[in-house]
Structure 1
Amino acid sequence: MTITSLTGVIPPVCTPLTPDREVDVPSLLRLVDHLVAGGVHGLFVLGSTSEAAYLTDEQRRLVVGSVAAHVGGQLPVLAGAIDMTTARVLGHVAAVSAAGADAVVVTAPFYARTHPAEIARHYRAVAGASPVPVVAYDIPVAVHTKLPADVVLELAADGVLAALKDSSGDLAAFRQVVTGARTHQGITGFSVLTGSELIVDAALAVGADGTVPGLGNVDPHGYARLDRLCRAGEWDEARAEQERLCALFGMVTVGDPARMGAGSSAIGAFKAALHLRGVIDCPATAQPQVPLSQGEVERVGKYLAAAGLL
């Protein structure tokens, strides 16, 4: 796999933290080893599951530099360069590429309302200044703007974008990009990745190139197995594996919605699972996210046991 042809399982790597909320580099590197041993095809650091929005600029650079040095080119390392404006994103692009990232993952600008024409200008400016390929990150729940399929395809045809990571939940638009990437005469080497761990089999069936599953931190072997089954056309077995992973994904609901948001529950569950599996030392999440209770952690353990992971 080259950076211009991303395929397979590319998990968004959790960022282990110490109890005082510093990056736990030894745990981070153990997590990377856990993912590599699980058969993943690339690593995406500083995404939503990585809690990138909560990390300082120095912590972001530390994460990228540590992971890139540790894998030593064994797998491509994609790094989020996520911020509100083009100028701020360009600063992150320079920092993470200097730290060793093989590609940058960039959302639409946010906070201010953004027109599709402004989104296109943003990506063209970023790509024009970036020393590494640019992956578009479609996550409207976080940036409040949906990347239009026609804009994505136009940018892909012009060589501005190397790939799309789609976390929009809009399956019709996702399929439009998949189809356009395959049929547009001007598009070559453009990868379309789904960010939904619950529909990997369906996404690959319609022509997606790969997946970026947050749950892949917990069970990378499962997602690598699912990818192999889909590519081999063993759809009954793939469906069964996808359904097992869907059941495991239920862990993201353990948090009490009366006292925490869905993000605290999901990230907390992933980190609790990694802690219970002995991969990371501490399940702490970044502030102001609410930590899971002991009872909620025990429920995470039950999901792991049911999936055969404890």
Structure 2
Amino acid sequence: MTLPTPLTGVVPPVCTPLTPDNEVDVGSLTRLVDHLVTAGVDALFVLGSSSEAAYLPDRHRRTVVDTVTGHVAGQLPVLAGAIDMTTLRVRDHVVAVTAAGADAVVTTAPFYTRTHPAEIATHFREVAAASPVPLFAYDLPVSVHTKLGADLLLDLAAEGVLAGVKDSSGDEGTFRRVLLGTRARADITDFSVLTGAELTVDSALAMGADGVVPGLGNVDPEGYVRLYRYCRSGDWARARAEQERLCGLFAMTAVGDPSRMGGSSSALGAFKAALHLRGVIDCPATAVPQVPLSSGEVERVGKYLAAAGLL
């Protein structure tokens, strides 16, 4: 389907349900998609961080995109990550996901290599030139070790290279500079600025953001849809209350013991445990080498769900 310009609303980064032996659980994935679509989300983003894209071999990535685009069947847009270390590798992913029916692609700056801003700009230009669908930048410095600057994003938006940005940097100053720049520059139109910060959606929307890409939206999509609608209607008291409830729920991402697992194991494990406890997916497994949550940690996830009114 044609991607709305600008893209707005709630765009959850869809988790990838796995079997105990690390294969894609297609049945659980389609139920998760139904869970999100029924909640009223505006688009879906597959093969991002919450999808465990960094852990998935190419055959799993293909299965995810084929399954989601086929199941959605044009009901709403599907954005797909084309995330890899360098430009030629990313372009191969663009070919694969667009052939499967993705309505837009999302990619980060190059990583592993040490790059200059001019090289990063070339990277996005080359990827956009090879893509038959709109390209979104994914600003994720915690993983790629490069922060996308406001001027770079605005210049690429003005060139028509980028259709938008998903900002997961946590840098609210640069985020605001991008928002201000999109309003101040006559050469930028229909550029979508999306926040990936689950805990400050109300403030991002108040600043002028177009939407949110919340990992926690897998667990509670209805909550983020309500939050977005409260903000858009100017009901800031309800928006604040809903945001604070979601902040309490987000605390589940810290249940994992940091002495035995990394932050991704804890956060993604919590999302999947919550989806399993809610009956959406069959198995809460995360991809190797992530460490699974213990039974006690899963029990704590359940308490957060109950406190948020989700069990």
- TM-score in terms of structure 1 length: 0.99
* Amino acid in the other structure paired with 1:99: A
Q: Deviations over 1:61-94 (max 9, x none)?
A: 1100110011111110000000000000000000
- In the alignment, which residue of structure 1 is the partner of 2:27? 26
| Rounded Cα–Cα distance in structure 1 between residues aligned with 2:102 and 2:182 | 25
* Amino acid in the other structure paired with 2:182: A
Answer whether contact 1:166 1:193 (CA < 8 A) is retained: yes
- Secondary structure at the aligned position of 1:131 is classed as coil
- In the alignment, which residue of structure 1 is the partner of 2:41? 40
Measure how far apart 1:208 and its partner are.
Answer: 0.1
Answer whether contact 1:165 1:193 (CA < 8 A) is retained: yes
| Rounded Cα–Cα distance in structure 1 between residues aligned with 2:81 and 2:104 | 9
- TM-score in terms of structure 2 length: 0.99
| Rounded Cα–Cα distance in structure 2 between residues aligned with 1:55 and 1:284 | 13
Are 2:269 and 1:268 equivalent residues in the alignment? yes
| Rounded Cα–Cα distance in structure 2 between residues aligned with 1:44 and 1:189 | 19
Q: Percent identity?
A: 75
| Rounded Cα–Cα distance in structure 1 between residues aligned with 2:116 and 2:87 | 14
| Rounded Cα–Cα distance in structure 2 between residues aligned with 1:184 and 1:212 | 25
- In the alignment, which residue of structure 2 is the partner of 1:141? 142
| Rounded Cα–Cα distance in structure 2 between residues aligned with 1:31 and 1:74 | 15
Count of equivalent residues: 310
- In the alignment, which residue of structure 2 is the partner of 1:297? 298
| Rounded Cα–Cα distance in structure 2 between residues aligned with 1:19 and 1:184 | 51
Within-5 A mapping of 1:36-115: 36-115=37-116
Within-5 A mapping of 1:159-198: 159-198=160-199
Within-5 A mapping of 1:6-17: 6-17=7-18
Measure how far apart 1:27 and its partner are.
Answer: 0.2
Answer whether contact 2:3 2:104 (CA < 8 A) is retained: no
Measure how far apart 1:114 and its partner are.
Answer: 1.1
- In the alignment, which residue of structure 1 is the partner of 2:259? 258
Are 2:6 and 1:5 equivalent residues in the alignment? yes
Q: Deviations over 1:9-53 (max 9, x none)?
A: 000000000010000001000000000111110000000000000
| Rounded Cα–Cα distance in structure 1 between residues aligned with 2:4 and 2:71 | 18
Q: Deviations over 1:187-217 (max 9, x none)?
A: 1111000000000000000000000000000
| Rounded Cα–Cα distance in structure 2 between residues aligned with 1:74 and 1:175 | 32
Answer whether contact 2:80 2:104 (CA < 8 A) is retained: yes
Answer whether contact 1:27 1:279 (CA < 8 A) is retained: yes
Unmatched 5+ stretches in structure 2: none
- In the alignment, which residue of structure 2 is the partner of 1:127? 128
* Amino acid in the other structure paired with 1:23: V
Answer whether contact 2:45 2:79 (CA < 8 A) is retained: yes
Answer whether contact 1:3 1:102 (CA < 8 A) is retained: no
Measure how far apart 1:3 and its partner are.
Answer: 3.8
RMSD between aligned alpha carbons? 0.7
Q: Deviations over 1:284-307 (max 9, x none)?
A: 000000000000000000000000
